[in-house]
Chain A
């Protein structure tokens, strides 16, 4: 995955609000144990705010500061600076959880260890060739917990590794591995009425982002209700009801739009190629194939997604 280049801190001048916040939260931040004084903490916070949103108006600074994980942020910056005590604390707190997270993500001990080790090198600020560079901790901006950030970074690295490995697998290796390839699809695909594409695009765009995410996660990626519910921190039944509502509403609105565009009700139904829920997986897979040249990550991991 592409990521933004690391920007060098510009050492902006702290705002008064930041200075006041640094003074008020200096003790709980634990900055003193890393030799960071109040002014240093204010500068650190200002840099983080600049990284997060350089255009944030001063009025919003207060709320941004209030939501910061100051203690973990200070620890990460102290680690970046190579503070021994900070690294001791970091390792004590996060070493085991990080390996555990890597194992849960990779589901394979060797892969998990490689993942975690490579991440450690990046956190230390050294790449695999031993060249020095900026620590990856620079990307931690205190929005969530440091442990959660580490899990996310491990997950990102895992997805990256998977895609890299996928690209590097030769055709021979794939065939030896038992992979089968579908016959080339027929050139002519059923001619779709342009009105349905336009109507669908319109109605999808009218959905809010969360609803689109829900549809994609469930119908395209085939995540379970439980997985989605866990991510969104709601009950499975809530997700189920919401999916019903969103999908049903979408279907109705598209149908209505098609009829308004001049189709008969029967024609609209046929054009929409109404699918029974039992047939849905087949159609979704077809859809994914059409959308992407390489096999989908989820198709590859389909067995694990359950």
Chain B
């Protein structure tokens, strides 16, 4: 708590200042941006202490500072937010998986008997109804990065991991959870999302050179929804990234339990909201779909005929006529326009293709045949 100042101090501070020239706008800006030398800073501060007008100028200027742009986003903060959601998400997943496997265990003798009678011992070493599909499906999952194991270890309490190797208490490792998802008859999409829960490494924002799963969808080559001369395309956000994005926004509301397929005898089925899809309509509008057959127009206020859209994690890139290029770093909620220019000449040809290998590295092709590349998440572009 500030105790205040004596009245006499207020009087002295507010007393008319001696007539002196105001610091230049360059000096005031240097003070705001902390780019002055020590001597200059002291001089400006001395003036500011006595000059109400200049104080107001520096506070107005400081307050009008641009909102953090793409470059100013603190990546560690994103990591932290991811973890905030990842921990409860992992806990929920563990709970759901435990229930799921508990059911499976309870039904195992019944199903084993059924299997033995129907299969005529075609596969005697196979564990009942489980191993074939789970292992096979698991083999198709992308290999886990080394860092994932460490992250999974952080997410899983020590007892959790010990039990997976030592047996006894019914707890399960990440892989088992993934396989349990497969066993439970979830769709492959849901299985990926289960794997994402049990394997949350992709939520960490990688360093610029780190290999991020190459999920960027080149616009024209992605699965087209409505064929059009404007290269209508649909881009789908990667399931893992979207899973956490959706959980972050909806507070796990999308995580619900429902009766599973009959084959599982009412096992718990974890279903997650589908990932957002992106497309460009035949008439050049950018649209997003968070639910089936529900498309919302995005950037509708921009007089641009869009021709390309690409998605990598939460980064959305879209472009169109007259070299228009837009970038969103939060899954399409906020957008910033990116100007492609070289030697002072902005790109005027239509953007017809966007390809990103990861959030940092990507390229844009224009109708005129020029190609622009970036390796810093679109901060700077090089024409090739």
Residues of B within 8 A of A86 (CB): 344
Q: Is the CB of A291 within 8 A of B63?
A: no
Write the A78-105 contact mask toward B (1 if CB under 8 angstroms, else 0). Answer: 0000000110110011000100111011
B18 at the interface (CB under 8 A from A): no
Let me know if A250 and B5 touch, CB within 8 A. yes
Chain B: which residue is nearest A160 at the CB level? B53
> Which residues on the B side are within 8 Å of A88 (C-beta)?
344-346
A214 to chain B: closest residue by CB: B49
A199-242 contact mask (Cβ, 8 Å, vs B): 1 or 0: 01100100011101101111111010001001101000000100
Q: Mark B24-61, 1 if CB is under 8 A from A, else 0.
A: 11111110111111001011011011101111111111
Q: Is B339 an interface residue (CB 8 A)?
A: yes
Cβ of A302 to closest chain B Cβ, rounded Å: 13
Q: Are B14 and A291 in contact (CB under 8 A)?
A: yes
A244 to chain B: which residues have CB within 8 Å? 1-3
Enumerate B36-94 residues with CB–CB distance to A below 8 Å: 36-37, 40, 42-43, 45-46, 48-50, 52-66
Q: Find the residue from A63, A248, A291 having the highest chain B CB count within 10 A.
A: A291
Provide the A28-50 mask, 1 if CB < 8 A to any CB of B, else 0: 00000100000000000000000
Knowing A2-B22, A33-B344, A159-B57, the reply to whether A152 touches B11 (Cβ < 8 A) is: no
Other contacts beyond A141-B24, A209-B42, A274-B6: 9, CB < 8 A: A3-B25, A104-B63, A143-B30, A145-B29, A148-B32, A156-B57, A210-B45, A230-B63, A287-B13
Indicate whether B8 reaches chain A with its CB closer than 8 angstroms: yes
In the bound complex, how far is the Cα of B24 from the Cα of A86, in angstroms? Answer: 24
Q: Which residues of B contact A223 (CB under 8 A)?
A: 59
Contacting residue for A155 out of B11, B27, B52, B61, CB 8 A: B61
B8 CB to closest chain A CB (Å) equals 4
Say yes or no for B122: interface residue by CB 8 A criterion: no
The answer, yes or no, to whether B207 is at the interface (CB within 8 Å) is: no
Q: Which of B14, B26, B36, B45 lies in contact with A220, CB distance below 8 A?
A: B14
CB-CB nearest in chain A for B54: A1
Task: Decide: A283 near B49, CB < 8 A? Known: A104-B63, A139-B26, A156-B57.
Answer: no
Give the distance to chain A from B54, nearest Cβ to Cβ, in Å: 8
Asked if B343 is an interface residue, CB under 8 A from chain A, the answer is yes
Cα(A208)–Cα(B57), bound, Å: 21
What residues on A are CB-neighbors of B345 within 8 Å? 85, 88
Assess whether A18 is interfacial by the CB under 8 Å rule: no
Contact-residue size bin, chain B (C-beta under 8 Å from the other chain): 35 or more
Across the interface, which residues of A come within 8 angstroms of B35, CB to CB?
67, 143-144
Pairwise interchain contact A148-B33, C-beta atoms closer than 8 A: yes
Interface CB pairs A-B, < 8 A, 6: A88-B346, A144-B33, A197-B8, A223-B59, A251-B6, A287-B13
Residue of B nearest to A87 (CB): B344
A250 to B5, CA, bound (A): 8
Q: How many residues of A contact B (CB 8 A)?
A: 88
Which residue among B36, B37, B344 has the maximum number of chain A CB atoms within 10 Å of its CB? Answer: B344
Q: Which of B21, B59, B339 contacts A217, CB < 8 Å?
A: B59
Residue A22 lies at the interface, judged by CB distance under 8 Å to chain B: no
CB distance from B5 to the nearest CB of A (A): 5
Contact of B49 among A2, A209, A273, A296 (CB under 8 A): A209
State the Cβ distance, A160 to closest chain B Cβ, in Å.
9
Residues of chain A lying within 8 A (CB to CB) of residue B32? 144, 148, 151-152, 231
Q: Is A288 an interface residue (CB 8 A)?
A: yes
> Are A220's CB and B52's CB within 8 A?
yes
Please give me the residue from chain B that is nearest to A146 by CB atom. Answer: B29
Q: Is the CB of A201 within 8 A of B5?
A: no
| Chain B residues whose CB sits within 8 angstroms of the CB of A89 once the complex forms | 341, 344
Q: Which residues of A contact B6 (CB under 8 A)?
A: 200, 250-251, 254, 272-275
B48–A243 touching, CB < 8 Å = no
Is residue B15 within 8 Å, beta carbon to beta carbon, of the partner chain? yes
- Whole-angstrom CA separation of A275 from B4 in the bound complex: 7
Bound form: Cα–Cα A143–B40 in Å: 10
Q: How far is it, in angstroms, between the C-alpha of A82 and the C-alpha of B60 when the chains are bound?
A: 30
Contact yes or no, A101 B64, CB < 8 A:
yes
Tell whether, in the assembled complex, residue B1 and residue A152 are in contact, meaning their CB atoms are under 8 Å apart: no
**Given known A1-B53, A159-B53, A221-B56, contact A291–B15 (CB-CB < 8 A):** yes
- Nearest-Cβ distance from residue B45 to partner chain A, whole angstroms: 4
Residues of B within 8 A of A170 (CB): none
| A203 nearest in chain B by CB position | B9
Select A147's contact among B7, B22, B66, beta carbons within 8 Å. B66
Q: Does A263 contact B (CB under 8 A)?
A: no
Checking B29, B48, B49, B57 against A144 with a beta-carbon cut-off of 8 angstroms, the contacting residue is: B29
The interface bits of chain A over 120-142 (1 if a CB of B lies within 8 angstroms of the residue's CB, else 0) are 00000000000000000001111
- The distance in angstroms between the C-alpha atoms of A148 and B16, with both chains bound, is 29
Q: How far is the CA of A110 from the CA of B191 in the complex (A)?
A: 54
Is residue B158 within 8 Å, beta carbon to beta carbon, of the partner chain? no
B10 within 8 A of A: yes
Nearest B residue (CB) for A277: B4
Q: Closest CB of chain B to A111's CB: distance in Å?
A: 13
- Whether a CB of chain A sits under 8 angstroms from the CB of B12 is yes
CB under 8 Å from chain B, chain A span 155-198: 155-156, 158-159, 163, 192, 196-197
Kindly provide the distance from the CB of B59 to the nearest chain A CB, expressed in whole angstroms: 6
Interchain CB contact under 8 A, B28 and A152? yes
Q: Does A230 contact B62, Cβ atoms closer than 8 Å?
A: yes
- Which chain A residues lie closer than 8 Å to B50 at the CB level? 212, 216
Asked if A284 CB lies within 8 Å of chain B CBs, one says: yes
Residues of B within 8 A of A104 (CB): 63-64
